[in-house]
Chain A
Amino acid sequence: MCVGVYLIWGCRAPFRLLGLVVMPLAAVLLALAWAAGGVGEQARSDFGDAFLVFHVGLILAAFAGFTLAAALAALYLWQDRRLKHRVPGVLRLRSPSLQTLDGLTVRAVAFALPALTVGAGIGLARLREEGASFDAIMGLTVLTWVVYAAFLVLRWEAGWRGRRTAYLALAGFLLVVLVRVVLTPFVHF
């Protein structure tokens, strides 16, 4: 999905350097999926196909966007550190400018947050219909949404940028990891 996002939206001349982030990320995620046996035959779900497509698809798309944003933020912090510390070899490695990385992080979050909003909204509506209880994963998903919404508000309204937003994107990603990797296999579905 990360690669899909890149191919649809990021694979244009100004953003082509995104491939630097996307390809290693896709490779790592694929390796993790193999290691976890996630590419085998799927167990049947009790949920309807349309619900799965919209809810799971959108949540996964959002997580892909947040993952991309985190990778870009990490690259930003690395590049920022090299420039701040005046590393003599700073120009020897080609990398996108801080401004580009910062802008792309914001775009990735701006793409992912609406997907998370709709995906989680569908899930919550279903939850109300069935009268199921609010579990830990839902609580953390809402918290994740709050962090990323704060990210965009602070970026667009309060003029936050650079290191501060990069750290915020990474903090949000920690929640994504917690939801997706730690809690989802045990709590949800």
Chain B
Amino acid sequence: MRLVLVGTSYQRAPVELRELLAYDPELRRGALERLGGGSTEAAVLSTCNRTEVYAVGAEPGELEERIYGELAGLSGLSHSELAPALYTVGDEAAAVHLFRVAAGLDSMVPGEAQILGQVREAYEAARGSETAGPTLHRLFRQALRVGKRVRTETAIGENPASVSSAAAELAERVFEDLAGRRILLLGAGKTADLTAANLISRGVGEIVVANRSPERAEALARRFGGRAVGLDGVEAELVHADVVVASTSSQGFVLSAGQVERAMKERRGRPVFFIDIAVPRDVDPAVIELEGCYLYDIDDLERVVAESVAGRREEAVRAEAIVSEEADAFRAWQLSLDVVPAISSLRARAERIRREELERAQGRLGTLSPSQRRAVEALTSQIVAKLLHQPTVRMKEAAAAADGVLYADAVRHLFGLGEDADQARKPRQ
């Protein structure tokens, strides 16, 4: 059985094409029904950045054609239009690819966590449609393990990869956690929105929105369950706020160092973290000189993100080593499949002979007590197991060295296992 992967990702296809190749759960179910069944296994991984179809069957060329047909049908494009955007990979390379995807090594932002859930979803869908056979079960379970190992054994996913998450993590370096903290949003634009959403996801307590336009402030405050104030109320709010996110379109400073200094006196030394993502800046840079004030503008945050993404890339080297280790394990498992049917047949044949001979000897042995009967059973089983132990070990070793097929054929030939082997080759469901 051969593994085939046909797919595309953000590296090959623009968003216009990826949109045409995206599967929702319903479409995926249909695709799995069309591609899987019989001895063919199939799984579809579909995210906003990639669509990949994994299939296992006897004829890789035919599988590839079927997947191309499926993707052409989905997108409404011809084979020739699709071909430049699609990649086709087989067997071990396909496994390595999925392991890298699950590890986040093939993602736009190395180590992003969402992809692991999407790989799990693809596997669950294949299981639900009963199109995951032994190879895909093994492949996806191992891919999920790779994803978990990479995230626990390396720091690839630990550092923020966006300005909003960097801002939130920096705030967490000042306050232990953001649960129950008060956030003051200056400005009600898109950037403030994103940053606020990130902070809210970390459990902030109260959100106060101050904006020149009361309507926009009200709208944003309503969305986040906070309250709105006018810009003239900012100084009073500053006394209570722990994190200030400034993103107004004002041409001058909205917060002067003097205003902050006055507020700090009333805060009795409690620190405050300023995130100034406005251009031109909203917060007077002199604020950084004040005790207990921490100020990051957009450039500072972008430098932090760049450094953290560079850190992720360094960790990616360690992650690649894990992928390679797991790929070796998958390869060894695949190779062992070459000899497993022969070993199973050999053992089945030996067991059948043992039972037949025991039955034949029944008359000569006379009446045996249950304990004698058990002793004879154990003795004959041990003889069979010991005889077969060495050939089994040797065949597995040969499989690991890629000579498994030769050995399996030799065993089948020597013991006349042809029919048994054919039976055992059928994939287990």
Interface of A with B (CB < 8 Å)?
14, 79, 83-84, 86, 88-92, 94-100, 159-164
Q: State whether B294 touches A91 (Cβ < 8 A).
A: no
B residues in contact with A97, CB < 8 Å: 172-176
Contact A91 B303 (CB under 8 A): no
With A83-B170, A161-B269, A162-B292 as given contacts, are A89 and B307 in contact (CB-CB < 8 Å)? Answer: yes
Residues B159 and A84 in contact, CB atoms below 8 Å apart: no
The residue in chain B whose Cβ has the minimal distance to the Cβ of A103 is B176
B-chain residues with CB within 8 Å of residue A100 when the two chains form the complex: 176
- Complex CA gap A152/B296 in Å reads 32
Residues in A with CB closer than 8 Å to B307 are: 88-89, 91-92
Per the bound structure, the CA–CA distance linking A95 and B158 in Å amounts to 13
Q: Which of B170, B271, B296 has the most CB of A within 10 A?
A: B271
Q: How far is the CB of A162 from chain B (nearest CB, A)?
A: 6
Bound-complex Cα distance A164 to B172 (A): 21
Could you say which residues of chain B place their CB within 8 Å of the CB of A164? Answer: 269, 291
Q: In the complex, what residues of A have CB within 8 A of residue B303's CB?
A: 86, 88
Q: How many Å from the CB of A95 to the closest CB on chain B?
A: 8
In the complex, the answer to whether A83 meets B291 with C-beta atoms within 8 Å is no
Q: Is the interface of A mostly helix, strand, loop or mixed?
A: helix
CB distance from A92 to the nearest CB of B (A): 5
Residues of A within 8 A of B269 (CB): 159-162, 164
| Chain A nearest Cβ from B97, distance in angstroms | 29
* Given the contacts A88-B303, A90-B304, A162 and B291 also touching, CB distance less than 8 Å: yes
Closest to B294 in A: A83
A79 touches B173 (CB 8 A): yes
| Contact A83:B173 (CB < 8 A) given known A92-B307, A98-B271 | yes
Which 10 pairs across A and B sit closest by C-beta, in order of nearness? A159-B268, A88-B307, A88-B303, A161-B269, A86-B300, A97-B176, A89-B307, A159-B269, A100-B176, A99-B176
CB < 8 Å neighbour of B159 from A83, A92, A162? A92
Question: Using Cβ atoms and an 8 Å threshold, which residues of chain A touch B271?
Answer: 98-99, 162
Which residues of A lie under 8 Å from residue B308 when comparing CB positions?
91-92
Q: What are 21 A-to-B residue pairs whose CB atoms are below 8 Å?
A: A83-B174, A84-B288, A86-B296, A88-B300, A90-B304, A91-B159, A91-B160, A91-B169, A91-B304, A92-B307, A92-B311, A94-B158, A97-B173, A98-B175, A99-B175, A161-B270, A162-B269, A162-B271, A163-B291, A164-B269, A164-B291
Q: Number of residues in B with C-beta < 8 Å to the partner?
A: 27
A51 and B294 alpha carbons, distance in the complex (Å): 50
A184 to B359 alpha-carbon distance, docked (Å)? 92
Within 8 Å CB of B159, what residues of A? 91-92
Q: Given the complex of chains A and B, what is the CA–CA distance between A88 and B308 in angstroms?
A: 8
Q: Let me know if A88 and B306 touch, CB within 8 A.
A: yes
| B315 → A minimal CB distance (Å) | 10
Asked, given contacts A83-B294, A159-B269, A161-B269, whether A90 binds B170 with beta carbons under 8 Å apart, the answer is yes
B166 CB within 8 Å of chain A? yes
Within the complex, the shortest CB–CB distance from A154 to chain B, in Å, comes to 10
The residues of A that contact B270 with a CB separation of less than 8 Å are 161
Distance, CA A189 to CA B173, complexed state (A): 46
- Additional A-B contact list (17), CB under 8 Å, known A89-B311, A90-B170, A91-B307: A79-B173, A83-B170, A83-B174, A84-B294, A86-B300, A88-B300, A88-B306, A91-B159, A91-B160, A91-B166, A91-B169, A91-B304, A92-B311, A97-B175, A98-B271, A99-B176, A162-B291
| Residues 297-323 of B at the A interface (beta carbon under 8 Å) | 300, 303-304, 306-308, 311
Q: How far is the CA of A94 from the CA of B173 in the complex (A)?
A: 9
Q: Which residues of B contact A98 (CB under 8 A)?
A: 173-175, 271
Task: Digitize B152-188: 1 where CB-to-A-CB distance is under 8 Å, 0 elsewhere.
Answer: 0000001110000010011011111000000000000
Question: Residue on B with the closest CB to A86?
Answer: B300
Greatest chain B CB density within 10 A among A14, A95, A99 is at: A99
Partner of A88, one of B172, B174, B288, B304: B304
| Nearest CB in chain B to that of A94: its residue | B158
Could you give, for residues 127-169 of chain B, a 1 whenever the CB lies within 8 Å of some chain A CB and a 0 otherwise?
A: 0000000000000000000000000000000111000001001
Chain A proximity of B374: nearest CB distance (Å): 54
Return B256 CB to nearest CB of chain A, in Å: 19
Inter-chain CA distance A121–B304, complex, in Å, is 52
